[in-house]
Amino acid sequence: MSYSDRMQRNHLYSVLLSPRGAPRMVDQGTQIAQQYLSPFDRLIGLIGDSGSGKSILLKGMFPGLELTNDDEGVNVRPLPIMHQDDTGFFTPHTYHLDIRFEMAFYQPHELADAIRLADERGKRVVIEHFDLIYPYLGMNAHLLIGIGEEIIVTRPSVFGPEPDDIKEVVFASIGNRRMAHTADDLVEYCLIDRRVYHFDHYDVRNGFILSFHEKPQIDLRELEADVKKLIAQDLPISYLDNTHILIGDQRHYCTGPRMHVSSTGEIKDFQLYHEFLTHRITRDSQILGVVNMPEEIVLSELNSLKLMSFAGSESSK
Ligand SMILES: [Zn+2]
């Protein structure tokens, strides 16, 4: 048995917080590939709503893999997996397909047949929206990844988890991620007004962290009040390009432009923690914001294992 199999034999599932923005999502993909992907895995399944970052994660996991469903509308046609020719020198070892997208062109059983054929030939197939093809495929993915507010990484066995279990969790939690990311942008927007430009982003359940090497001289209660004003105005948020959104009519830099609620008023129960936090090792100053949390912030409960249990995640879109 290969080292990766021995290493992963007792792995149930891993949960990571979905990072904000493309560069960190790509990094996360690279790390997942290093830690959880076996060279012998053939079926790689991804589950997550549109805009959740599946394609970006794949760019990190499989650099160079040509995705067949580019968001900019450049699609690889004809779809390579539907025209498998195993006689040539240059047939791909890895195929990619987005089931939701391809269902506009093919019957599900045709896609399932093509995936099975590729699998029999020892090819790797990377499948987005794996949950949609699973009922026709009759076999689970070797590596299955769900993306919502969290990234769930699992290597299913006959005991599960089933794709629908993963789907239920990540589709329920993505609303929180959309709200948190949008609130994060609004805080950033108000910081730019205060001439504060340099900080890093970190993630926490139901919220976000902005981290500063030098503590900015700002009042966090005022900052919170300004963000709440933007929320009360219910400004529309729209995708502008790969690195920008519009907040109302203002252009704002963002590398996750498809991960927002459609207007600021959809952000529920926004709160900013009224004190700066201090990172335990770097001593950097940090601002914490949370969404969808009606009660007061209790720091030690944000990432608690109780919240990590998948029952009862708030569903909102
Ligand atoms: Zn954004």
Residue ranges covered by each domain of the chain? 3-161, 174-308
Give me the chain's average pLDDT, please.
89
Model confidence at 312: pLDDT above 70: no
Question: Residue 26 half-sphere exposure, CB side, CA atoms within 13 Å?
Answer: 9
Task: Please give all residues whose CB falls under 5 A of ion ligand 1, grouped by chain where several chains appear.
Answer: 185, 254
Which phi and psi angles does 94 have, rounded to 5°? -125, 125
pLDDT of residue 313: 47
Q: Is the domain 3-161 a CATH 1.10.10 member?
A: no
Cα 177 to ligand 1 centre (Å): 11
How far, in Å, is the centroid of ligand 1 from the Cα of 209?
Answer: 14
How far away, in angstroms, is 144 Cα from ligand 1 center? Answer: 27
Distance 70 CA to ligand 1 centre (A): 20
**pLDDT of 316 above 50:** no
Rounded to the nearest angstrom, the distance between the alpha carbon of 264 and the centre of ligand 1 is 12
The pLDDT assigned to 91 comes to: 67
How far away, in angstroms, is 178 Cα from ligand 1 center? 9
Greater model confidence, 309 or 39: 39
* Confidence class for position 118, pLDDT limits 50, 70, 90: very high
Cα of 192 vs centre of ligand 1, distance in Å, is: 14
- 163 alpha carbon to ligand 1 midpoint, in Å? 28
pLDDT digits (tens, 9 = 90+) for 128-162: 999 999 999 999 999 999 999 999 999 998 888 99
Burial 207-218 (b: 16+ CB within 10 A, else e): bbbbebeeebeb
Fold exhibited by the domain 174-308: Threonyl-tRNA Synthetase; Chain A, domain 2 (3.30.980)
| Alpha carbon of 184 to ligand 1 centroid (Å) | 7
Whether 2 has a pLDDT exceeding 90, the answer reads no
SS in 3 state form for the chain? Answer: CCHHHHHHCCCCEEEEECCCCHHHHHHHHHHHHHHHCCCCCCEEEEECCCCCCHHHHHHHHCCCCCCCCCCCCCCCCCCHHHHCCCCCCCCCCEEEEEHHHHCCCCCHHHHHHHHHHHHHCCCEEEEECHHHHHHHHCCCCCEEEEECCEEEEECCECCECCHHHHHHHHHHHHHHHHHHHHHHHHHHHHHHHCCCCCCEEEEECCEEEEEECCCCCCCHHHHHHHHHHHHHCCCEEEEEECCEEEECCEEEECCCCCCCCCEHHHCCCCEECCCCEECCCCCCEEEEEECCCCCCCCHHHCCCHHHHCCCCCCCCC
57 CA distance to ligand 1 centroid (A)?
Answer: 17
pLDDT on residue 317: 40
Model confidence at 284: pLDDT above 50: yes
